[in-house]
Structures are given as structure tokens and as C-alpha cells.
Amino acid sequence: MNDSNTANAYLKTKVMTASPEELRLMLIDGAIKFARQAMSGLENKNPELTYSGFSQCRDIVLELLNTIKPEYAPQIAKSVQDLYTFLYGELVKASINKDQGILREVIDLLEYERETWVLTMAQLVHEREHPIAKPAAAAYAQPTASKSISFQA
């Protein structure tokens, strides 16, 4: 098995065993990677690298946008949807205009989103360990198990 096959097998296993939260983090990481690839393409005047980076980053941002579940926390979901919609539009604008400044802002926002998501994941772990806590990040990921609490007077 060559290195490429080994890496692909590892990635496939990682994706297949990841929680919904980890999958979202992997998507955010991918968006950052491809936005940086587009930046490198712009800096080095490499149109193929630029195109590939922009298109893959846009595809991932669109996937992130389409997987938000507003039924769990509508206000948070709306804010995140607005962010991803904005990022997508900025990626289109940066791609058309070959604008490194706009792309840098997109990368900064994606990195901030990554930091926020890592904190959200930590909060989810805390909530699972302490089920009384109120869910803060359910708009991003489907719950892994349904729990019900009943109160009787």
C-alpha cells in the first residue's frame, strides 16, 4: 500500500468514525485549508491552484450552510446561516476579482469560526457529562441520543 492509499484509508476511517461535531470541525478545517490554497494560488499567480482552492472552499461553506439544523436553536442557527451566506458571497467576490484582501478576511472569519466551534464542542462534552445543563450548541449538530425528563407535581 503506498502513502496515498494509506492516507486515504486513514481519512476514510476518521470520517466514518467521527461524531457529527467532529465532522463539522473537519469541514471547517477543510474550508480553511482550501481558502489558504486559493491564497497561495493568487500569490504565486497559479490559476489552477487558485481555482481549485476557491471552488473547494465554496463547496465546503455551502455544505456547512446546508447542514445547520434550525429546529434546535433557531436564533443561533440564523446567525450561523447568515455568517456562512456572507462567507460564500465573499468567496465568490474574492474569486471573481482575485482579491487577496477579501480572501484574507474570509480566512480570518473561518479561523474564528473554528475556534468558536472547538469551544462549542467542549460545551457539548460538558453538557453530556452534566445532563442538567442547558444545550448551547444544538443548532450545529444533531443530538447523538434522545433524552427525556419528566416532572410530576
Mean residue pLDDT of the chain comes to 85
Residue 141 CB coordination number (10 Å)? 21
- Pick 143 or 5 by higher pLDDT: 5
Contact predicate 52/41, CB 8 Å: yes
DSSP code at position 145: S
Q: What's the grid cell of residue 107?
A: 480566512
Q: Classify domain 18-129 at the CATH topology level.
A: Four Helix Bundle (Hemerythrin (Met), subunit A) (1.20.120)
Q: In the chain, what are the domain boundaries?
A: 18-129
pTM, 2 dp: 0.77
Look at 36-40, 81-85, 129-133, 139-143 and tell me which has the smallest mean pLDDT.
139-143
- Pick 78 or 131 by higher pLDDT: 78
- pLDDT for position 91: 98
Q: How far apart are CA 39 and CA 33, in angstroms?
A: 10
Contact predicate 60/30, CB 8 Å: yes
Q: What phi and psi, each to the nearest 5 degrees, are found at residue 66?
A: -75, -15
